[in-house]
A and B are shown apart, each in its own frame.
Chain A
């Protein structure tokens, strides 16, 4: 494993993808290292979620290549990509609201010996609510269930799309901690709008604009510290605003 760790776990080359005929991913190139958390950043609507969905074939890939641990997956159907060891935590959580929490988790178990212990340690709330319908959970609890579905299995890569979206600051921190724990054992490609969470978690970052990669960095922190770059690619106003956002979400002000 230590020998392979210099090889990227995911290699995306010239990826194109379309939704109902319109191009939403337009020649994306990037690599995800085999360890740590890599952030996928950009303004709203630049194709972050579409890129994630295209990687696992949830939207139609119209060109380019994708390699997972050195194996091509760009022609492989979604369920087989997941079976090869990809955990997907979608934007807006997408738990099955009519199913119980336990059923949601059971459905996600791919391995013969799923890691229930880790999930129970990270999200004790879910154990208490296992017989409850997932649709009756709070947004934060649904996010926990959605993360738990991915963490139950041994994965080569986690794709996590805006896990803190719409959550209260305290829950944001819980999600960040869960991702930190997960990142010890699996590399993560993380789409995240909350820049203080990005600072806290991400090693490298990939920045998208207009369906293309416009910037890559090995240090997400350095990128976020560079006002000219964040202004240009993320539309963030100033470093003060960033600091303020950071304090707000870490619970300093609220």
Chain B
């Protein structure tokens, strides 16, 4: 029983990391029709810059951790906004070229990260509390799992509030449904493009900082390994649906943890789940039709 609880909470934690990547992917695809393969690079850069900063300002304190979360968000957001502005925007409405340029950026980014920080993992050190465990119904759950889950939940809440309560949120929701009609109301939808990239990149940057504590290290491949599952989560949840991405993240994370622990087939089961969803409901759990 306690093992199952541990697996559940760890799985939700892993799902939280997937969500931080998948939320941006889903919004970007929903609004712009671009599958962003460079999204993992936003995460990795956020993680590396935060790791560098934490070594300079002193590892192992809560203050440093919170500062690095902010730095991760800022770095991911700025990197993503620049990507949209410099690479995606000039290829407006050319979706295949846009996808190819993000693939290129993701490969180039990993090479640059390897050049700067090397291929070996760089170990992180969070607040001392992270290394301890909390007893949940007999299960000893590492504390960093809770932090990951809480921060992801706050990001979800923040993005939902933004989408529901602000004018730009309204433009994004309308644009996900029918982008050309948004422009036909006299709204420059390209500003919303930059905005979803920025928000998605910031969430990925936060995900990078959290992942570096969850796994205990940063490496150039960190973003890519999470990105694959985030793509799967995005498809299962329904492209363009934030709530779909949130639900699918938790389902995939938990399923992966449990099946990995007992049978070592977590990745395989996730692929099977993806296939089943695509065969029975190709738009995903909560995706828009067509």
Residues on A lying within 8 angstroms of B by beta carbon are: 56, 58, 77-80, 82-83, 88, 90, 94, 96-99, 103-104, 106-108, 110, 149
User: By the criterion CB–CB under 8 Å, are B184 and A82 in contact?
Assistant: yes
Determine how close the nearest CB of chain A comes to the CB of B33; give it in whole angstroms: 15
B180 within 8 Å of A by Cβ? yes
Binary A-proximity of B157-184 (CB < 8 A = 1, otherwise 0): 0000000000100110110011011111
Determine how close the nearest CB of chain B comes to the CB of A71; give it in whole angstroms: 16
User: By the criterion CB–CB under 8 Å, are A96 and B178 in contact?
Assistant: yes
> Given A79-B187, A108-B185, does the pair A58, B170 have CB atoms closer than 8 Å?
no
> Given A79-B189, A96-B177, does the pair A107, B171 have CB atoms closer than 8 Å?
yes
User: By the criterion CB–CB under 8 Å, are B170 and A103 in contact?
Assistant: yes
B120 within 8 Å of A by Cβ? no
Please give, as numbers and ranges, the residues of chain B lying within 8 Å of A98 by CB-CB distance: 173, 177
Show 30 A/B contacts (Cβ-Cβ < 8 Å), sorted by A: A56-B184, A77-B183, A78-B184, A79-B184, A79-B185, A79-B186, A79-B188, A80-B186, A82-B186, A83-B186, A88-B184, A88-B185, A90-B184, A94-B178, A94-B181, A96-B173, A96-B177, A96-B181, A97-B177, A99-B170, A103-B170, A106-B167, A106-B170, A107-B171, A107-B174, A107-B182, A107-B185, A107-B187, A110-B185, A149-B185
Chain B interface size, under 10 / 10 to 19 / 20 to 34 / 35 or more:
10 to 19
Please give me the residue from chain A that is nearest to B184 by CB atom: A88
Please give, as numbers and ranges, the residues of chain B lying within 8 Å of A104 by CB-CB distance: 174
Determine how close the nearest CB of chain B comes to the CB of A166; give it in whole angstroms: 18
8 closest A-B pairs by CB? A82-B186, A78-B183, A96-B174, A83-B186, A94-B181, A79-B183, A88-B184, A108-B185
Q: Measured between alpha carbons, how far is A96 from B181 in the docked complex, in Å?
A: 9
Determine how close the nearest CB of chain A comes to the CB of B182; give it in whole angstroms: 7
- Pick from B171, B177, B186, B187 the residue with the most CB of A within 10 Å: B186
Determine how close the nearest CB of chain B comes to the CB of A82; give it in whole angstroms: 3
User: By the criterion CB–CB under 8 Å, are B185 and A82 in contact?
Assistant: yes
Determine how close the nearest CB of chain B comes to the CB of A56; give it in whole angstroms: 6
Q: Measured between alpha carbons, how far is A149 from B180 in the docked complex, in Å?
A: 15
Q: Which of B174, B183, B186 contacts A99 (CB 8 A)?
A: B174
Please give, as numbers and ranges, the residues of chain B lying within 8 Å of A108 by CB-CB distance: 185
Q: Measured between alpha carbons, how far is A82 from B181 in the docked complex, in Å?
A: 11
Q: Measured between alpha carbons, how far is A98 from B241 in the docked complex, in Å?
A: 12
Please give, as numbers and ranges, the residues of chain A lying within 8 Å of B180 by CB-CB distance: 58, 78
Please give, as numbers and ranges, the residues of chain A lying within 8 Å of B183 by CB-CB distance: 58, 77-79, 82
Please give, as numbers and ranges, the residues of chain B lying within 8 Å of A56 by CB-CB distance: 184
Please give me the residue from chain B that is nearest to A100 by CB atom: B170
Given contacts A78-B180, A104-B174, 13 further A-B contacts (CB under 8 A): A78-B184, A79-B185, A79-B188, A82-B183, A88-B184, A98-B177, A99-B173, A99-B177, A107-B170, A107-B171, A107-B185, A108-B185, A110-B185
Please give me the residue from chain B that is nearest to A82 by CB atom: B186
Determine how close the nearest CB of chain B comes to the CB of A109; give it in whole angstroms: 9
Please give, as numbers and ranges, the residues of chain B lying within 8 Å of A99 by CB-CB distance: 170, 173-174, 177
Q: Measured between alpha carbons, how far is A79 from B183 in the docked complex, in Å?
A: 5
Determine how close the nearest CB of chain B comes to the CB of A114; give it in whole angstroms: 12
Please give, as numbers and ranges, the residues of chain B lying within 8 Å of A96 by CB-CB distance: 173-174, 177-178, 181
Please give, as numbers and ranges, the residues of chain B lying within 8 Å of A80 by CB-CB distance: 186
Please give, as numbers and ranges, the residues of chain A lying within 8 Å of B188 by CB-CB distance: 79
Q: Measured between alpha carbons, how far is A203 from B188 in the docked complex, in Å?
A: 34
Q: Measured between alpha carbons, how far is A149 from B182 in the docked complex, in Å?
A: 11
Q: Measured between alpha carbons, how far is A80 from B187 in the docked complex, in Å?
A: 8
Please give, as numbers and ranges, the residues of chain A lying within 8 Å of B182 by CB-CB distance: 107
Please give, as numbers and ranges, the residues of chain B lying within 8 Å of A90 by CB-CB distance: 181, 184
Q: Measured between alpha carbons, how far is A97 from B181 in the docked complex, in Å?
A: 12
User: By the criterion CB–CB under 8 Å, are B173 and A110 in contact?
Assistant: no
